[in-house]
Every structure is written in C-alpha cells, then in structure tokens.
A = this chain, B = another copy of it.
C-alpha cells in the first residue's frame, strides 16, 4: 500500500488531511515535529512526504534534505515566489500554497505518485519478485537468483515500455568499466527468461538495440 508521511503541526489541518488521505486508501503516518519525522522514517519507508514548511522545532526545507530521498510535496502558507523556488530547488515535486482545497492536494498526490512510484515488485501469475529484498518466488516457493539478474529485470521493468539497450543492460549488470563479451547479456537474459517460466516471453528482444519488457 502507498505510504505517506504527513508532517503538519496544526492539529486541525493535520487531522483533516490524515483522515481524508486514509479514506483515499493511503497508509498515513502523521508527525508534528522534525524530531518525530526523523524517527518515523527510521521505523519504516515511505513513498511520499507531505510537508508543512513551518514546524515548531525546525523548518521543512532542512528536514526535506535530511530525510531519505523520496518525492515530497510542500504544503505551506509561504506562497511567495522565493519560497516556492526554494522548495523546488530542494527537489520538491509540488508546492501547494495555503489555503488549498483537500481535493487539490489529493490530485497532486496522485499526480506525483503516478510519476514516481518505485517499482514495488512484480507479480505475474505464479511469479513474485521483490526488488527490495532480492527474493524471487515461484508458486510460493523461493528460488535462488543472482542479484545482478534481478537488477537487470528491474531495469527492464522500470524502463518498460521502452527498450533497454544492450549497453545499458551491461552497465547494469557489471560496473560500467568492464567490457565483457556480448554473450554476457544474453546469458543474463537467458537465465531470467528461464526463471520467469511462462512469463519468460515478456522479455522481448529488439534486434540491433536490446530488450524490452512487455506489460500485459
């Protein structure tokens, strides 16, 4: 489930946002201080941060840099051009000045998530892949797989529907410094296809270019 860290010190606004977000199906953790937010990110990983800039024990701009890199949205009373620019400079995806409609926030969140959702893992028929834990399951049974092969699979899936060139694939598997033979990539693809079983043909070769993951 998509997990949002909501950082807002105003009780009324915070509660409203939290409730609404939960109603939309997001998992929400609500913190009110810089300190609490840092603790929260230690405990679990989030997909998106929703920030108030002005916090009792520090400001959101600094906090944004301290947290693990995830897309974040600023939510703030300081709607002037300088603040917005500062927010975007820090990498904010959106900067929503108060007052705002809840609906606007939801739209923006969906927009950001659409563009930034990390690859949460694959689930194709009897195959399950977790790119974070590097585990590969078929019919519920864990199968051994090389980490590098998994990285290649991840690259293919994230780039999909675009093709991944052989060079990219090679760079993903090896460091960019080595130049092993062409068979190296083929072998990785071969192992992946075989590991994927029925879903193997989803890795399509693009002659003269590389490979492409076909979604269904």
Contacts and interface: CB of A to CB of B under 8 A. Distances in A.
Interface of A: 79-82, 84-85, 88-89, 93, 96-97, 99-101, 103-104, 107-108, 111, 115, 118, 130, 132-135, 146-148, 160-163, 206-209, 212
B97 A85 contact: no
Nearest to A207: B147
Contact of A212 (B82, B104, B118, B134): B134
Given A79-B97, A147-B207, A147-B208, A88 B115 contact: no
Given A79-B97, A85-B104, 9 more contacts: A80-B99, A81-B101, A85-B101, A88-B104, A115-B115, A118-B162, A133-B160, A134-B206, A146-B207
A201 to B, nearest CB: 14
B104 A208 contact: no
Given A104-B88, A133-B161, A147-B209, A99 B118 contact: no
A208 B149 CA distance: 12
Nearest to A144: B207
Contacts of A146: 207-208
A193 to B, nearest CB: 19
Contacts of A118: 162
A101 B108 CA distance: 21
Contacts of A212: 133-134
B79 A104 contact: no
B115 A100 contact: no
B134 A209 contact: yes
Please indicate which of the listed interface residues A79, A80, A135 has the most CB atoms of chain B within 10 Å of its own CB: A135
B79 A161 contact: no
Nearest to A135: B161
Contacts of A134: 163, 206, 209, 212
26 contacts: A79-B79, A81-B101, A84-B96, A84-B101, A84-B104, A85-B101, A85-B103, A85-B104, A88-B107, A88-B108, A88-B111, A89-B107, A118-B162, A130-B161, A132-B161, A132-B162, A132-B163, A133-B212, A134-B163, A134-B206, A134-B209, A134-B212, A135-B161, A146-B207, A146-B208, A147-B207
